[in-house]
Amino acid sequence: MVVAAILLRVAYVAAGVFELAPDEAVYWQYSRRPDWCYYTKGPLVAYLIWIGTHVFGHTELGVRISSIVLAAVTMVLFCRLYERIAPGERRGVVGLLIAQHCIPLFLAGSILMTIDNPLCFAWVLGLWGLHRAVRDERKWGWFWLAFALAAGLMAKLAMFFFIPVVLLYLGLSRRNRRWLATPYPYLALLGGLLALLPQVWWNAQHDWLMFRHTAERGENIRFDRVLTYPFMFIGGQMGVASPVAFVLMVIAAAHHVRHWRKDASLLVVSALAPPALFFSGFSLMHRINENWPATMYPALLLGAALYWAPKWGSREARRWVVAAYIVGAVMILLLLWPQACVATATAVSWGAKAVELPIDLPADRVPVNRLLGWRKMALFAAERAKGLEKPVFFMGRRADEASLLAFYLPEHPWTYAHPHAEISTQYGIWGGLGKLRGWNAVFVTRLRPMRHGDLEQEHLAPRDLFGEVDEGEDLEFEVAGHVVNRYEVWRCKNFRGW
């Protein structure tokens, strides 16, 4: 089943249904110089993309192949961990395999090459190594724990949450507590932390940009949203996990909290508590992006399998589990098929108007639109560049737009982001704009739909950066007869610098 899952994902990505997501394009740019990502992210995702693109070329498959392989390895580790905790319970193994294909967050994460995929791989590997070391007394399990911590920190600093996971699992159990009197857990944690040394060294040479960037997450604290952000947080998680599956996972988690003295429940609670408590508390004063709490889901899914698999004989439990699979599968089908997603959004809006409900979901606000249209846009920008005297460079309004432009332009030239802030992206680090004075340029941006159907058009033309800017030209991208993306392109002359 794992091999079939890999082949299906490879075929889907190779078919080119979806172009790169904005984050994937930015990480692809990182792969051209991995040290650029030391200031915000770990370099692991850049190295993985570098390997993939050197094997399969600068294609969507080249960028995403590492994600597909890592997801398969994670799937195997997950099932092996479950088998060690609940030996002989094959229904749980089957349920885990099905769940990882019926939960939108897991399926999207197994295709898109973002930092959350290697992070979740490292998290599951760490749980597997920890359980092997503690329960089976396999000392090499500590080595795998150290490797997992190192890999996770090289992917995303959220892996720091795994340190309290280890301490909770060891400290809350009398049987496990004896390991705290040995050097093994401390050596494993210290060995994993050594992976941060290159990032710390780089940041010491660059005014601690990584820490300044991380501290920016604490800005815009809103204490007046304590009744809004938590509901947005919960709603977002129900969306990425599918509503029924999320409720079933929460019910299982509550069961394990009540029975935390049992070793299996303690492992689930220890792995869930640090990220869940942090993001739940942070949601009282800041909006939580749906992917931030990704490290909660290995524990949630493991806990759900341990709780619901033995109840499969109950008709009511079986009905709810099957409903979770069906709802998740329908959501995934809509996500993987853009025409169906746009048609569904249109039908929802039409039905809401028919019964006078205040629901409006126009086609240009469907989330999957972010993965459509840039290939056509890049070819259009290249045609526009032919009318300018050389030398010419390309610029996007944001880092993700510039990265997508670079990926889909012929020969993948270096592109630049509009310097609207001090240093907010890797484009602010590599610089180079000072060498382009007097050059002509093609400036590209995606027009984002606003709440009332108006387009964000003001202040888009980079007239402050160039001696002359022509009137912008629009390009529309359609799916199923509906305009889902709009772009605007300007031809600019005589770059003044910034």
Q: What band does 339 get if pLDDT is binned at 50, 70 and 90?
A: confident
What is the predicted pLDDT for the residue at 422?
54
pLDDT at 166 over 50: yes
Q: What band does 217 get if pLDDT is binned at 50, 70 and 90?
A: low
And the tokens for 321? 């589990």
Q: Which of 14-23, 346-355, 430-439 has the lowest mean pLDDT?
A: 346-355
Q: What band does 41 get if pLDDT is binned at 50, 70 and 90?
A: low
Asked if the structure places residue 77 within a domain, the reply is: yes
Q: What band does 429 get if pLDDT is binned at 50, 70 and 90?
A: low
Percent of the chain with pLDDT over 70: 88
Same domain, residue pair 123 and 182: yes
Asked if the structure places residue 361 within a domain, the reply is: no
Averaged pLDDT of the chain? 87
Domain boundary among 309, 331, 353: 331
Among all chains, which residue has been given the structure tokens 């610029």? 395
Domain count, the chain: 2
Same domain, residue pair 178 and 62: yes
Percent of the chain with pLDDT over 90: 51
What is the predicted pLDDT for the residue at 190?
96
Q: How far apart are CA 95 and CA 498, in angstroms?
A: 56
Full residue range of the structural domain in which residue 460 is found: 369-495
Same domain, residue pair 317 and 198: yes
- What residues form DSSP beta bridges with 394? 415, 442
Same domain, residue pair 214 and 322: yes
pLDDT tens-digit series, residues 433-491: 778 889 999 999 988 765 444 444 445 677 888 999 988 888 988 887 888 888 999 99
Asked if the structure places residue 347 within a domain, the reply is: no
What is the predicted pLDDT for the residue at 451?
45
Query: Any residues with CB less than 8 A from the CB of 395 and at least 6 apart, and which?
Result: 402, 415, 416, 417, 418, 441, 442, 443, 444, 462, 492
Same domain, residue pair 327 and 373: no
Q: How far apart are CA 201 and CA 152, in angstroms?
A: 18
Which of 209-223, 365-379, 445-459 has the highest average model confidence (pLDDT)? 365-379
pLDDT at 176 over 90: yes
What's the whole-number mean pLDDT along residues 304-319?
A: 93
What is the predicted pLDDT for the residue at 224?
66
Asked if the structure places residue 363 within a domain, the reply is: no
Same domain, residue pair 315 and 394: no
pLDDT at 12 over 80: yes
Domain boundary among 303, 331, 359: 331
Same domain, residue pair 379 and 274: no
Asked if the structure places residue 364 within a domain, the reply is: no
pLDDT at 203 over 80: no
pLDDT at 290 over 70: yes
What is the predicted pLDDT for the residue at 494?
93
Domain boundary among 301, 331, 361: 331
Among all chains, which residue has been given the structure tokens 């601690």? 208
Amino acid at 224: D
pLDDT at 54 over 80: yes
What is the predicted pLDDT for the residue at 341?
83
pLDDT at 353 over 80: no
What is the predicted pLDDT for the residue at 191?
95
What's the whole-number mean pLDDT along residues 58-64?
A: 95
Same domain, residue pair 250 and 115: yes
Same domain, residue pair 307 and 396: no
Q: How far apart are CA 127 and CA 121, in angstroms?
A: 10
Asked if the structure places residue 225 within a domain, the reply is: yes
What is the predicted pLDDT for the residue at 458?
46
Same domain, residue pair 150 and 275: yes
pLDDT tens-digit series, residues 112-146: 999 999 999 999 999 999 999 998 888 899 999 99
Same domain, residue pair 198 and 299: yes
Same domain, residue pair 7 and 138: yes
Asked if the structure places residue 240 within a domain, the reply is: yes
Asked if the structure places residue 342 within a domain, the reply is: no
Query: Any residues with CB less than 8 A from the CB of 307 and at least 6 apart, and which?
Result: 251, 252, 255, 256
pLDDT at 412 over 70: yes
pLDDT at 263 over 70: yes
pLDDT at 59 over 90: yes
